Structure 1
Amino acid sequence: MSNNAEQPKVVPEDDDEPDEWDKRIFSTGCHAEQDKMNDCYFVKKDWRACKDEMEAFRECWKRQGNDQRTESKDA
């Protein structure tokens, strides 16, 4: 005997809504720089090849005052 009951359909999550990570990145004021840095790494698979993008993110981070907000320190 076969079971003709329909399987529940999985509805994909609406990806247009910002998740908690996105909200945190947007709150830094450096989301564009962060996206460029991540895109660079995605393409090149080597952070050393993304020094310009990393520096742009670091400068934005400082300009926005995120060092004080997150208590991060440059080594």
Structure 2
Amino acid sequence: MVESKEPANKIVVDADEPDEWEQRIFSTGCSAENLNMTDCYYEKKDWRACKKEMKIFRECWKQHGNLQRTGTKEA
């Protein structure tokens, strides 16, 4: 008989289910804007080149009341 070396209480994460981080982003109402902003940074490796995407995300953040919800202060 071969014994498994896997722990009995191993947690299996379903890759199709949103993780905690994704759930937080979805709850802001700005997940598409966040994705566009992070994709821009990934492609250009410079936040200064993504000012348009950052502005769109910031406007979405305000429109969905996230400044009050998260205690964010506008710079």
Shorter-chain TM-score above 0.5: yes
Identical-residue share of aligned pairs (%): 65
Aligned partner of 1:68 in structure 2 is 68
Matches within 5 A, 1:1-75: 14-75=14-75
Q: Unmatched 5+ residue regions in structure 1?
A: none
SS in 2 for 1:29: coil
Equivalents in 1 of 2:17, 2:46: separation in Å?
30
- 2:58 is aligned with what amino acid? R
Q: CA deviation at 1:73?
A: 0.6
Number of positions where the alignment pairs a residue of Structure 1 with one of Structure 2: 68
Cα deviations by residue, 1:18-59 (Å, 9 ceiling, x for unpaired): 000000000000000000000000000000000000000000
Q: How does the TM-score come out when normalised to structure 2? A: 0.81
Equivalents in 1 of 2:67, 2:36: separation in Å?
20
Equivalents in 1 of 2:37, 2:15: separation in Å?
21
Q: CA deviation at 1:15?
A: 2.0
Runs of 4+ off more than 3 Å: none
- 1:46 is aligned with what amino acid? D
Equivalents in 1 of 2:42, 2:29: separation in Å?
22
SS in 2 for 1:41: helix
Q: Unmatched 5+ residue regions in structure 2?
A: 6-11
